[in-house]
Structures are given as C-alpha cells and as structure tokens.
Amino acid sequence: MGTTGRAVVDLNVEELIADLRRAYLDELLAFYSYWITAAVAEGFHGEELAEHFKEEAAEELGHARKLAERILELGGNPVVHPKEWEAGAHAPWTAPRANWADADGMIQDQIKAEAGAIRAYNALAKKTFGKDPITYKLATELLEDEVGHEEFLENLLGPQRK
C-alpha cells in the first residue's frame, strides 16, 4: 500500500497493525490446532472429523495469509517465528485432547476457539468501521467465515449437546 493508502486510515496504524498481528497469530494457532487434531482423531467419527478439520485448517491458513498481507500493506511485519505465536495471540494454545477418540470434546474445543475468533473480528470490525474500509472489509469477511465455522461445528454436535 502506498503512502496515501496508509494516510487515509483514520486510526493509529501501529495499534491497528498490533491488532492484525494478534488475529494473524490466532489464525496460525487455529490452523495448527485443526491440522494436528485431524492428524490424531481416532474412533468411529474420527475419519469424518479429520476430513472436516483438514478443510478448516486450510481455511484458517488462508485467513492468516490475508491478515499477513494487510499487515504488510500497512507497513508492518507479520510475526515469523513459531515460538512467538502463542505469546502474541488473543488466547493460549489448546492442545488436542488426550483421548483422540473424543470427537465431541474435540468439536467443543474448536467451538470455543471459533467463539474467540468471532469476538476478535467483531471488535476489529467495530474499530475499523468508517476509519479503514479495507481492514473493515477483511474483518467482516473473516467474521462471516468464523460464524459459519462455529455454526457447522455446533450442528455436528446436535441441539442436545451444544
């Protein structure tokens, strides 16, 4: 993004970059969480769950890519070292459950993570509304995706187990 593109952002750009970095790190952790859970899922529903979680992992990695691009456009740099992922994210890393056949538990863990992403993107959308249309558009697109992820996961559990 050029000088004028950055200048029209009516926010503290450094704070905005920090917010975007946290969201970027959240997405990297979400990617890894879905990916590793897909790798270890076992039991009756494990194979089905693994296929869905592989798809979700790819989507979360795509979200991280979009956030990294926006960070770069604003003149910032995305975090590049994995050891820094958890420290800079909104929430701590949640490892897969010890019981790899606990499909319901794995789904519930991912629902909690999606809820956190929904809150983060909602806050980012509110912060950027009318002040940074490009980041606002990105935040609302990612918010829509995360709402869809949460709904899908809740539907997997069914109404009696949500």
pLDDT score of 161: 54
Question: Is-contact 139 124, C-beta < 8 A?
Answer: yes
Angle at 114 (CA atoms; ends 111, 118), nearest 5 degrees: 135
Query: What average pLDDT score do residues 28-36 get?
Result: 94
pLDDT score of 20: 98
Residue 45 has pLDDT above 90, yes or no: no
pLDDT interval class at 1 (50, 70, 90): low
Sign of the dihedral defined by the CA atoms of residues 101, 104, 109, 113, in that order:
positive
pLDDT in tens, 96-133: 778 877 888 889 999 999 999 999 999 999 999 999 99
Distance CA 124, CA 49 (A): 30
pLDDT score of 113: 93
pLDDT in tens, 66-96: 999 999 999 999 999 988 998 898 888 777 7
Residue 5 has pLDDT above 80, yes or no: no
Sign of the dihedral defined by the CA atoms of residues 162, 92, 97, 148, in that order:
positive
Task: Output the 3-class SS for 76-122.
Answer: CCCCCCHHHHHHHCCCCCCCCCCCCCCHHHHHHHHHHHHHHHHHHHH
How much is the pTM?
Answer: 0.90
Residue 44 has pLDDT above 70, yes or no: no
Q: Which domains does the chain have, with CATH numbers?
A: 3-157 (1.20.1260.10)
DSSP label at residue 74: T
pLDDT score of 22: 96
